[in-house]
Amino acid sequence: MIVGESEGILLQAVRRLLVISDMHGQIDAFNALLEKAEFDASEDLLFLLGDYVDRGQNPKAMVAKARELEKKGAIVLKGNHEDMMEKALIGRKTESLAHWAANGGAQTLSSYGLDFKFVYQNIESDSLKLPDELLDDLSWIEQLNVYAQTEHYIFVHAGIDPDKKIEDTDEETFLWIREPFFSGYHGDKIVIFGHTPTMNLQQSCDIFFGKNKIIGIDGGSVFGGQLNCLELPSKATFSV
């Protein structure tokens, strides 16, 4: 997905770009962060880099918020947790469901009024009927893009393969990669990514500014860190 050409007119009209990732159901913190950054959908272009579901207080509400913001112009990308959710609930395999549950999927099911044990016991049965709201959100997740780029930036959940052209990269890489992206990226565009908590890249939860044009914004808020927002092109930061 290239935010350019016809969208270039849009970029010229916006005041700034704002980027947030890895909300993990923390709807209150996310709303507080938008308020702190003074987000205005009529003036700012918001990029959300995935992981709306799992672990936090209300994944369902976070998905609803992401969808609402998308309708107002936000660029909303898929994360690896949406990928796990998709594989578990659309693929209907106990192994995939167990993998998702081990990474916070039970909290997501609960937010839709479902008990994990019941779903696990019936996931491969035609008798399991998922709520319409959940099915609708799954359809939305299926069509999400895995990266976006502008003239100067690449936005992605986990990173990119430093040795491949972006158009030749598989979806799994965009959603899951860590190394060799961190140390091996050498492209001209700045890559903004989430997925890896920044405390794994430095000694704080603040936004990580790599020397090789990579910027990590996942503050690990669901692990006791903070939720970060990056402003571009100023590189100002906000956190809650």
For residue 1, the model assigns a pLDDT of 67
pTM, full prediction: 0.95
Residues in the chain: 240
Whether the Cβ atoms of residue 225 and residue 217 lie closer than 8 Å to each other: no
For residue 6, the model assigns a pLDDT of 39
Q: Where in the chain is the domain with CATH 3.60.21.10?
A: 6-79+144-171+188-239
**Whole-number percent of the chain with pLDDT over 90:** 94
Q: How far is it, in rounded angstroms, from Cα 33 to Cα 191?
A: 22
For residue 9, the model assigns a pLDDT of 42
Whether the Cβ atoms of residue 51 and residue 105 lie closer than 8 Å to each other: no
Q: Residues 131-153: what's their mean pLDDT?
A: 98
Q: Give 231: exposed, middle or buried? Use CB within 10 Å, 0-12, 13-18, 19+.
A: middle
First to last CA, the chain: 29
Question: Tell me: the pLDDT tens digits for 198-224?
Answer: 999 999 999 999 999 999 999 999 999
Say if residue 7's pLDDT is above 50.
no
Domain 6-79+144-171+188-239 has CATH 3.10.180.10: no
**Cα separation values, 5 from 9, 10, 87, 149, 227, Å:** 8, 9, 34, 11, 32
Kindly state the helix (H) or strand (E) to which residue 173 belongs, with its residue range.
Answer: helix 171-176
